[in-house]
Amino acid sequence: MKILLEKSGFCFGVKRAYEICQKNFGQSFQTFGPLIHNYEVLKEIKQNGGQICQKISEVKNNKNLIIRAHGISQKKFLKLQKKTNLLQDATCPFVVKLQNEARNFYKNNFFLIIVGQKNHPEIKAICEDCPKAKVIFSLQEAEEIPKQEKIALVAQTTEKEEKFNKIAKIFKKKSKILKIKNTICTDVKKRQKAVRYLSLKVDLLLVIGGKKSSNTKKLFEIGKQNCLTFLIQNKTEIPWKIIKNLKPQKVGLYSGASTNEKTINEIKMALENY
C-alpha cells in the first residue's frame, strides 16, 4: 500500500492564531469562541490554561483575551475593548479582508450577498454588522433573488471557488451595478485544486480535520466526487475495515487548514505500520 501525502498542516491564518495563543500557554487566559475548528488543538489549549468564552459577560478583565481566527463582529469587538485592555486579535487576515469588503459595500447601500453558510461564525459576525445582508448557499437560492439596482457579492473565505463563479454569473443578469469580490482564501483555493488532483490518483482518500471545519468539509466533498473518501479527525477514526476489504494500492492523505502536523504524522505512521 502506497501512501501519498500532499499539502499538510496549518494554513497561514490558523498558524498565526495558534502562535498568538501559544504565547499565553502556562498562564490562565481566555479565547472568545473556539480559536479554530480542531478538537485536538482546542484540547491542547485547555490543557495549557485556556478557557473558551462564548459571551461578553463571561470575559474576565484581568486575563488575556484572544479573538478567534474566524473573527467577531465590529460591534462585539468594540464592546470587548471597553471591557478589557488585554485583547489579542487572532482573526485571520483573509477574514479581516472579507469583513472590510462586506462592511464597505453595506455602508455604500449595496444589496450585500454573501455566498456561504449562515450559521458559520465567520458569516454570523458579518451579519451582526450588516443585518440586511443576504446569505445564500446554492445556485437555486441565487436564482430566486429578485433584480436589484446595486448588488455586491462576496464569499465565505472557505467557500468552493467553482460554485462562487457560477453564482457570480447568475447575478450578472440581476443588476445594473454589480460588484464581485472573490474573498475566498488563497490557501483554500490551492488546497481545493490539489485535493481534486490527488483524488484522481488514489483508490482511497483520507481528509484529515475537524468535523466542524468548513474548509475541511469542502475538501471532503471535492474528494468524494472522484474516489472513496473519508473525513477523519485522528488516527482512531482510520477506517481499518474498509482498508482491509478494499486492499487499496494507493491511499491519499490530505489535511484541512486547521489540522496540526502531529495528527497528520500519527495517521501516516499508523498506515505505514499496517
Half-sphere CA count of 209, side-chain side, radius 13 A: 26
Strand order in the sheet with 87-89: 50-53, 29-32, 64-67, 87-89
Q: Let me know if 122 is a catalytic residue.
A: yes
Describe the strand order of the beta sheet including 2-5 as a list of residue ranges.
2-5, 250-255, 204-208, 228-232
Distance CA 220, CA 148 (A): 35
Q: Which residue among the candidates 19, 122, 141, 266 is catalytic per the annotation?
A: 122
130 three-state secondary structure: coil
Cβ pair 161, 134 in contact under 8 A = no
Give, in degrees to the nearest 5, the angle at Cα 81 between 76 and 86: 125
Q: What is the Cα–Cα distance from 218 to 221, expressed in whole angstroms?
A: 5
Q: Chain centroid to CA 219: how far? A: 11
Q: Which residues carry out catalysis?
A: 122
